[in-house]
Amino acid sequence: MNRAPLSADRAVVITGIGAVTPLGNNFDSIADALLAGRSGIVEIDGAGFSREARQFAAPVAAIPTVAADSNDSNDAFDRLGQICLAASSAAKADAGLGDLHGSGPVAGARVGLVLGIGAEHLKSWEADFLAGGRQVFAPDRPTSLVHRIAARLGIEGPAVTVAAACASSGYALALARRWIAAGLVDVCLAGGCDILSPTGFAAFYNLRALSRRSDDPVRASRPFDRDRDGFVMGEGGAVLVLESRRHADARGARVRGELAGVGMSGDAAHMVIPSDDPTEAARAIHLALQSAGVQPADLDYVNAHAAGTPVGDVAEAAAIRLALGAATDHVPASSTKSMSGHLVSGAAAFEAIACLAAIDRQAIPPTLNLDSPDERCRLDHVPLVARPHPVTVTASNSFGFGGANLCLVIRRAA
């Protein structure tokens, strides 16, 4: 990981956005929803998902269909695969990459793909089991999802999956940035997705990580609020197209922003409970700022990981305060999980879009349901409604179960 800012022509910029989320399937619809404070959390049919009589979640309403070709068909992908494929295909189109096999601006061999997917094979086994099949390895199983998507999109460069729990898609973006900075690829699609699954619901329910509210789905996700009682599951995710500024300018690409800095650390204090010492989480934030060449006072917005768990939000607030120092009181912070739910593997990439939305709209998305801020979470909160605010430099935190700490710095491209 670089600890010094990249030169202007080597800076890694974002030239394409693809998304399939509870708040919409393109940048403008997501930005509109976030700034309007619109929630995607609804009551779902809990059969097979939970023992609770009423179950709230943030599902994807419709997955865009990707036209089939001679190599594959959309029906060959399960729900997770369809979401990943749709987001990746949309990002490629948004970046204007065209046919990577043909005479387009980029050759497929110089394009990479990194997807953050926490439990790909578990999801497919679970689907087989629920359909009456057997949860076993089979020799005729298709190749890994990331390679099937790469083949479908004409990507012939490196393609890998990374898993870092709730920070998975952020780690994917970090790895893609490194590949580009090292000259291993010219362009890289990176992000991640997740789906609602009975296994996920059961696991998080038994860990008492999920909200058990049963009154109003829109009011269930309450990051930083005194009455929070856990997170709300969401599904979907996002894929971004990254490339060096030099390469983007050479092909006349539209630049949406710069992935200016990355910071990572680990503090495996417990499998799911964050460390009560904020040092390592704060280190990830500090390293991200350092690699972007910015100071805490330069930040205009922090998109907090805050999922609404009683211990997690307090731990993150302490880490932000330790990393930013006196600037903490003047840097607006909010959690968009109050609207989207927690997309788990796809959360970091989706929240990178939230940062780009803040830059594009010059306004801070709110934290819904923040009626009574927890006094242990002393931040410059943006409760209930968006705040118009000049935004050039943003930071987005992702703290995965098991101590996977990540911070991305995303800023307006020069």
pLDDT at 1: 46
Identify the segments of the chain with pLDDT beneath 70.
1-4, 46-53, 69-75, 102-105, 119-142, 271-272
- Ranges of each domain in the chain: 12-257, 261-411
**What is the DSSP pairing of strand 55-57 with strand 159-162?**
unpaired
CATH topology agreement for domains 12-257 and 261-411: yes
pLDDT at 47: 61
pLDDT at 410: 98
| Confidence (pTM) | 0.93
* C-alpha span between 405 and 78 (Å, rounded): 30
Greatest CA span in the chain, whole angstroms? 58
**What is the DSSP pairing of strand 55-57 with strand 12-20?**
unpaired
Unique residue bearing structure tokens 């700034």:
35
Compute the residue count for the chain.
Answer: 414
pLDDT per residue as tens digits for the range 80-127: 999 999 999 999 999 999 888 766 667 777 999 999 998 655 555 565
* C-alpha span between 321 and 333 (Å, rounded): 11
pLDDT at 64: 94
pLDDT at 104: 66
* C-alpha span between 410 and 64 (Å, rounded): 27
* C-alpha span between 127 and 241 (Å, rounded): 30
Tell me the catalytic residues. 166, 305, 342
pLDDT at 69: 63
According to CATH, the topology of domain 12-257 is Peroxisomal Thiolase; Chain A, domain 1 (3.40.47)
Name the CATH superfamily, with its identifier, for domain 261-411.
Thiolase/Chalcone synthase (3.40.47.10)
Burial of 146 (C-beta count, 10 Å sphere; 0-12/13-18/19+): buried
Nearest Cα neighbor of 153 from 240, 105, 86 is 86
- What would the two tokens of residue 181 be? 């900075």
